[in-house]
Chains A and B, each alone.
Chain A
């Protein structure tokens, strides 16, 4: 049958939700069912640093129930993702193992940047509306209970994402003892946010004038619904409309709001601080239009699934977003962009020619590209300790769209570009680097080292390389009149390592221009 069903389960901080989708090339993605339940795992973690046994059991019960619902739609494919509460729970490995064992559902614990990327994909799934929004400079802000995440677009690419430890719930809780009245509370939040946003602005926003603010989370969709335009899936309000609604709502008590907008009372608790956060962001950035897409992580997961399995057609290239984000980081650390472009070109050629030898996936190609883009960032800190500095920078920087593991692979690849690759047995890591991932790192490192040799002097002596594979020999030919002695020498140094990994001998040739 042409129609496939997909189930997405998200284990969030306050809600666990199952959505069932149907997807077909002709009709796209369609939500069939949405089942959600309040399960406050976030509170457990906030108070006790771990998810309680009681809630763990409840989670298992809900997941088993969800399995049955999935069964009732004969769902063929599914994905279960857990977010911050699960990720930050100190017992998360044991917890994950236990819940997986009980329910038979494999759980992906998402890194923050992976989660944001999926959220972003959900928004981008409304392709036409989304494309229209990002014509102008746009920021996406995800208002969470314990932190908020701001992501920025440059032209139509997502370039940076930052987590600010200022959540709607935690801030409201923290400020409650000092609160004199609503106005005073507002003033305190404005002050707090001003400080945080100033820091963000200096580092990341530069001279971009943000016109659109896309708001995720905070339960604000329902109260903005009155402004939804016909035939539009994403609700948008102008600055003036937002302020009018803001004043209308902030004058009312929770139960009044609940009644007027037909939302459960418990949802209003995050709504008021979220609204305030939103107003501050809007005013700080000087935004014209605020967008409330109201999608959930599950929508992003479904879109991600459909896109990867080619169930639906889309024009936006999400890999480009990840690459753009990486480039923006490399610029921040003053990496030589021409050098990078040069290496990317040849590096990806090498990767493509060696497909049979390395057996890696297109995703690994992307990781290689990112490793190349970031391979020099350590120099920003220290010229001497490049490899460790680069490793630490990458591990401390969020690269939107990459999982924690993928970020590790990139960081290690960059690290071992200029330091020894230890044997697997000597590899000290938290456990995520298993044999398979070790091999990925080794292969990517070998390619990075080899191509890095080709622009040893960072002078782009050769604008173009051609890479050919013939039997056991990988020939890289430079077409240039420049003196390539230094490069050829370095190349020869790196060749044995490359050979030891792929059992292919790299050969460097220079061909003079006529």
Chain B
């Protein structure tokens, strides 16, 4: 199969594809139909996304080059080739970011009544006085200026910090410049509010501008020739991506040990920097030309998220959305009774995350509950779930929690509450050796009149009540016996015991999941060849697994209709003659972060629906514990189909992958506008409305019956 469908030209490099995704996020910042602050938020997201991308992916590729790794990626590119391609795209992206910022957003902000002063020279006299006082009182005490001369070596510039570099000369010795640098303190707010104008206009200034204005106060016996902000990114504390080959990881680890601190992989510096200053930085930091990004505005746009959160300006934000109650659920009965009545589908954030919290909380209090088991990946700081689990242990329940410590950037946070749980008497498993536990599963064992009954929650997103308001995810609550048995087996395996003799319904990575997906795709192909209806709809965050893509190509060429909804990376190419002509790919980027993984297989007319914690990425299928679970209740199946249908019909937030690898918005001519996020929000509100209002909507009067005696 590989010879037919595995040619490198049939695949897009994942980094390039990812940069394309970030460009789609940026397009939201450019979208005039969105409220201003929402647009700022999207711009901020592109900035933090890009930072993470450099920290993880670019750092990895740089290491590959150092390790003289000659392997090629799915698209046939070497690490160096990828870095070259990334540099081109990333420079372009940064250029677009600042174009959007300078030409569109800053003027619009001004119009809305917020003036962000980007150059201290623009301050009025009053404002300048305020700024100087602020500097004296708050900033100056926390600054540590460092100068470089023959007796003082170039200092260690810390990763990801914003700094101001300056050229200074001893008073009276104009000819001889020395380099000095000072870190913009991260403990102070980046944007400082200035006294309001008389017309109510709000003014703000960036912290680095405050420092720049006062920089001569830092070097008293010197003249400051010039001063410019800059920022670097190193690959010292990089968390090596689990996607890379094992042998490569070992090689890289060896390399890392040899070095004291990481190499600089990116330098961002103000565009109008003095060439002499840049030259010093370039030399001292050992940074390559390609890795220097000259910035036409403030460095590190993540501060825009703070502006998004500022008080007032309600008109410039989306109306806050409150997740709605789950249709069919009530507050009067206990949740177990409600689950027994039938499986429950949860669709976040349109529907509230409360039932999941309630599930754990009620289990912790219910006298008949014997045990609670859960996997936790990323949990919010003051998670009510953690509190409920601790309470359960104190109430004498058997509580087992698998806490994934390897979750990127969250390690420390996780250890703290894991220890808290342990102190409460929970049995805590700190992850599995060599595998990340990415599955989202909760099992409640309850003793009932007719024996033990198991209640299970399975989800596509983390048990995190904060992100559940921002990420679109799905989950089910069920007491299906076969799923309950499988859930028990999952936790036995996670505790280090043998695999079960058989699985009833679930498919678990890294052992069975890849095979299951491959077989499901192959089955559609078989149906297509037999002339039966064959259709796959798959929704996920990223698609970059070669084997799966090849299987999709093979299915497509056999006539299977394949509709993919892939938010981020997609290494699959559409429109390749005789390979992927039957495949469509759309990416939905909008208010909420698309996060659910849903899979539909036509199965010759007897459709099957699945959800999973896994994307179609090698790391999900081979290096993580993931769960694929079926949706079996016909009522839920039609709801899931509805979700997919609406996403496929979206013509506002969907970007369609073109055969040249670019993404374009849907041509809306002649169609009613449909924004799937808005649609689901409205639908959730409608469905959650009390019966009375619904009746009124139908405009049909319903006579009441004689009340019961």
Contact = CB atoms under 8 A, between A and B. Distances in A.
Interface of A: 1, 3, 5, 15, 22, 24, 27, 30, 32-38, 65, 68, 71-74, 221-222, 262, 264, 294
Interface of B: 370-371, 398, 427, 445, 447, 449-452, 488-489, 492, 495-501, 512
Contact of A72 (B445, B450, B496, B501): B445
Contacts of A264: 498-499
Contacts of A5: 452
B296 to A, nearest CB: 56
A442 B385 CA distance: 65
A68 B427 CA distance: 10
6 contacts: A34-B501, A36-B498, A68-B398, A71-B398, A72-B445, A74-B370
A319 B198 CA distance: 102
The 10 closest A-B pairs by CB, nearest first: A72-B398, A72-B371, A3-B451, A36-B498, A22-B451, A35-B497, A35-B492, A37-B497, A33-B488, A32-B452
A34 B500 contact: yes
Nearest to B373: A72
- Residue of A15, A24, A32, A221 with most partner-chain B CB within 10 A: A32
B492 A73 contact: no
A15 B501 CA distance: 14
Contacts of B496: 37
A262 B512 contact: yes
A24 B448 CA distance: 13
Nearest to A267: B498
Contacts of A262: 512
Nearest to A4: B451
Contacts of B489: 34
Contacts of A1: 447, 449
B374 to A, nearest CB: 14
A27 B450 CA distance: 9
Contacts of B371: 72-73
- Residue of A35, A68, A221 with most partner-chain B CB within 10 A: A35
A67 B622 CA distance: 33
B498 A72 contact: no
B401 to A, nearest CB: 14
Contact of A22 (B370, B452, B497, B499): B452
Contact of A3 (B450, B498, B501): B450
- Residue of A1, A3, A72, A73 with most partner-chain B CB within 10 A: A72
Contacts of B452: 3, 5, 22, 32, 73
Contacts of B492: 33-35
A65 B492 CA distance: 11
B96 to A, nearest CB: 48
Contacts of A32: 452, 488
A22 B449 CA distance: 12
Contacts of A72: 370-371, 398, 445
A222 B499 CA distance: 13
A178 B573 CA distance: 56
A414 to B, nearest CB: 44
- Residue of B398, B452, B492, B497 with most partner-chain A CB within 10 A: B497
Nearest to A264: B499
A71 B370 CA distance: 9
A27 B451 contact: yes
Nearest to B500: A34
Contact of A73 (B370, B495, B497, B512): B370
A141 to B, nearest CB: 21
Nearest to B488: A33
Given A37-B496, A37-B498, A38-B498, A73 B451 contact: no
A130 to B, nearest CB: 20
B477 to A, nearest CB: 20
B451 A30 contact: yes
Contact of A36 (B427, B445, B450, B497): B497
Contacts of A3: 449-452
A358 to B, nearest CB: 40
A22 B485 CA distance: 13
Given A5-B452, A35-B495, A38-B498, 11 more contacts: A15-B498, A34-B500, A36-B498, A68-B398, A68-B427, A72-B398, A72-B445, A73-B370, A73-B371, A264-B498, A294-B501
A72 B425 CA distance: 13
A30 B481 CA distance: 12
A71 B398 CA distance: 8
Contacts of A34: 489, 492, 500-501
A34 B500 CA distance: 7
Contacts of B451: 3, 22, 24, 27, 30
A361 to B, nearest CB: 31
Contacts of B370: 72-74
Contacts of B450: 3, 24, 27
Nearest to B489: A34
A37 B497 CA distance: 5
A73 B495 CA distance: 17
A74 B497 contact: no
A457 B512 CA distance: 72
B175 to A, nearest CB: 75
Contacts of B447: 1, 73-74
A222 B492 CA distance: 20
B275 to A, nearest CB: 62
B427 A222 contact: no
A8 to B, nearest CB: 16
A30 to B, nearest CB: 7
Contacts of B427: 68
B446 to A, nearest CB: 11
B428 to A, nearest CB: 13
Nearest to B503: A262
A444 B496 CA distance: 50
Contacts of B445: 72-73
Contacts of A35: 492, 495, 497-498
Contacts of B499: 264
A295 B488 CA distance: 20
Contacts of A15: 498
B501 A222 contact: yes
Nearest to B400: A72
Nearest to A72: B398
A221 B502 CA distance: 11
B363 to A, nearest CB: 13
A30 B454 CA distance: 14
B289 to A, nearest CB: 50
Contacts of B495: 35, 65
A489 B452 CA distance: 64
Contacts of A27: 450-451
A36 B499 CA distance: 8
- Residue of A15, A71, A294 with most partner-chain B CB within 10 A: A71
A215 B185 CA distance: 75
Contacts of A73: 370-371, 445, 447, 452
Nearest to B399: A72
Nearest to B512: A262
A24 B427 CA distance: 31
Nearest to A296: B501
Nearest to B511: A262
B458 to A, nearest CB: 19
A24 to B, nearest CB: 7
A75 to B, nearest CB: 10
A263 B294 CA distance: 57
A38 B489 CA distance: 16
A221 B452 CA distance: 28
Nearest to B484: A32
A65 B400 CA distance: 12
A45 to B, nearest CB: 21
A30 B452 CA distance: 10
